[in-house]
Amino acid sequence: MAGFDLPPTERGRFTFESDGFRYEVLRSLLEHVDYDTLWLARCRPLKEKAPRRLVVLKQVEVPEGREGRTRVIEEVQLAEHLHHPRIGRVLRLAEYQDAPFVAMEHTTGAFLATVIGSALLLARKLSPAFATFIAAEVANALDYAHHCEDERGRPLHIIHRAVGPMAIRLGRNGRVKLTNFGAAFSELLGRVPTPPKVLRGNFAYAAPEIIRSISEKGRAGLLSPRGIDSRADIFSLGLVLLEIIAGNHPLDPLDTLPPEVSKRALRLVSGVKAEQSAWASIEVLADRLLRFGPEDVERIAHKAPAPLKQIAHRALRSDPAERYQSAAEMRDDLRTYLRSLRQPFGATEAAAELADILKKASALKRKAAHPVEIGVLPWPKALSVQ
C-alpha cells in the first residue's frame, strides 16, 4: 500500500483535511512490520466550534489501490453497529495522499503487548488477578460483538479473527478496550469477500479449526462461516490469557519440539498467504497449533491458580464442541474467580498494576529491548517525532 512518511522533525507537525475534519498529525504510535501503522493526531470539525480531540489514525497495510479503501470503509461501516464500553470506537474514514485511514478514539494507556513486554523487562510476571480481569473484560466485549445485529435485527455473526495483545488496549484508568475489527468476518450486507488463498486475521492466535478447514486447494475456512464460528475467538482469547500468565507466547518453541514441520501442516497451508505477517511462518505456526494440547496448557500455566488454569484448559480445547460455547460463559467463569479472591480486583487495581509496571520498565532505560509501541516507554531519539 502506498503510505506516507512523517516529515523530518525540523519541519514540525503537519495537517491535512478530509471529509469535513482537520487532522494535525503529531507522531507515530506504532511502526512494526507485523501490525497496522498507527499515528497520533488531533482532530476537529471544519465547520463547527468544537474542541480538538486526540484520535488515532490507522493506516491499513493492504495492497495499494481500491482494496485498501474498501477495507477501511468496511471497518467504519461495521463499527456503526458496535457500541460497547469495552470496544474501541471507530469514528470515520480519513484520507491523505490517496491513502485511506481509520480514525479511532485515543485511549491514554498501552497495548497489552507493551505491558507484557514491560513485565518481561522487569523479569516479573503479571498477577493472576490482572490476567483474569483483562480476559474477562475482553470476553465481555466479544460476547457483545458475537451477538450484534444490523438495523433490521438480523444477526451479523461477527468473528473478530485478530484477538491478540495488540488488539487489546489498557487505559491508564484500568479500563480495557478491544480494538481492530478490520479483519473481522461478518455478514454485513455488501461486504467484499476475502480473496482465495488469503488468510485474514492474526494467525499467531488462530484456532486450530481455522487450519483444519483449509482445503487441499488452499482456500481458507475463514473466508466463509462454514466450520468457523465465534468459538474461534474464544480459543484466541485463551492463548492471550496464557500469554499474560506466562509472559511469553504459548507457541514459543521448545527444545522438545520436532525440528521439522509436519507433513500434515505443510499440506493444509500449501498455497495460503497470510495477510498479516507474524514472528513465525504460516507452516511453523500451523504445525504448533495442531500439536497444541492440554499438556501444553498444563506446562505453561502450572503455577497459576487452579480455577484460572481450568478456564484456560476449557478455552483452549482443540475441538470447538469441548470449548466454552460462548464468550459469556468464559466471562462468567473468569468473574467468578475474581469474586473468590480475598482482595477485590477491578479497574482501580488494574490501573495501579499497569502504572507500576510502566514506571519501573521506563526507569530501566533499556530502550533496545522495549516493545514496539512508541511513547509509552523511553524511545531512541532517532525514532521520535516531537
Confirm whether 371 is domain-assigned.
no
On whether both 266 and 141 belong to a single domain, the answer is yes
Residue 94: what are its φ and ψ, rounded to 5°? -130, 150
pLDDT of residue 281: 78
On whether both 58 and 122 belong to a single domain, the answer is no
Average pLDDT over residues 347-373: 81
Domain CATH number, residue 310: 1.10.510.10
Confirm whether 349 is domain-assigned.
no
Confirm whether 3 is domain-assigned.
no
- Count of Cβ atoms closer than 10 Å to residue 229 Cβ: 17
Confirm whether 370 is domain-assigned.
no
HSE on the CB side for 286, CA within 13 Å?
Answer: 25
Confirm whether 27 is domain-assigned.
yes
Domain termination residue (choose one: 89, 105, 121): 105
Domain CATH number, residue 47: 3.30.200.20
On whether both 97 and 52 belong to a single domain, the answer is yes
Q: What is the pLDDT of residues 251-284, one digit of tens each?
A: 887 655 566 777 777 777 776 666 666 666 788 8
Average pLDDT over residues 335-363: 95
Q: What is the pLDDT of residues 332-348, one digit of tens each?
A: 999 999 999 999 999 99
Say whether pLDDT at 293 is over 50: yes
Split into its structural domains, the chain has a count of 2
Q: What is the pLDDT of residues 32-49, one digit of tens each?
A: 666 778 899 999 999 888
On whether both 206 and 308 belong to a single domain, the answer is yes
Domain termination residue (choose one: 85, 105, 125): 105
Confirm whether 150 is domain-assigned.
yes
Tell me which of 16-25, 238-247, 263-272, 367-376 is least confident: 367-376
HSE on the CB side for 121, CA within 13 Å?
Answer: 24
Tell me which of 132-136, 209-213, 297-301, 343-347 is least confident: 209-213
On whether both 162 and 277 belong to a single domain, the answer is yes
- Count of Cβ atoms closer than 10 Å to residue 344 Cβ: 10
On whether both 257 and 124 belong to a single domain, the answer is yes
pLDDT of residue 265: 74
On whether both 167 and 257 belong to a single domain, the answer is yes
On whether both 209 and 64 belong to a single domain, the answer is no
Say whether pLDDT at 143 is over 50: yes
| 219-to-76, 197, 224, 258 alpha-carbon distances in Å | 27, 5, 10, 27
Closest listed residue to residue 265, CA positions, set 277, 245, 282: 282
Assign 1 a pLDDT band (cuts: 50, 70, 90): very low
Could you give the CA distance from residue 76 to residue 73 in angstroms, rounded to a whole number?
5
Confirm whether 14 is domain-assigned.
yes
On whether both 207 and 187 belong to a single domain, the answer is yes
β-strand 53-59 against 14-18: which pairing, if any?
A: unpaired
On whether both 61 and 23 belong to a single domain, the answer is yes
Cβ-in-10-Å burial (0-12, 13-18, 19+) of 326 comes to middle
Confirm whether 382 is domain-assigned.
no
Q: Are 90 and 104 in contact (CB under 8 A)?
A: yes
Task: Using the CB atoms, write b or e for 135-165: b if 16+ within 10 Å.
Answer: bbbbbbbbbbbbebeeeeeeebbbbbbbbbb
On whether both 208 and 95 belong to a single domain, the answer is no
Say whether pLDDT at 331 is over 60: yes
Which structural domain range is residue 201 located in? 109-340
On whether both 85 and 157 belong to a single domain, the answer is no
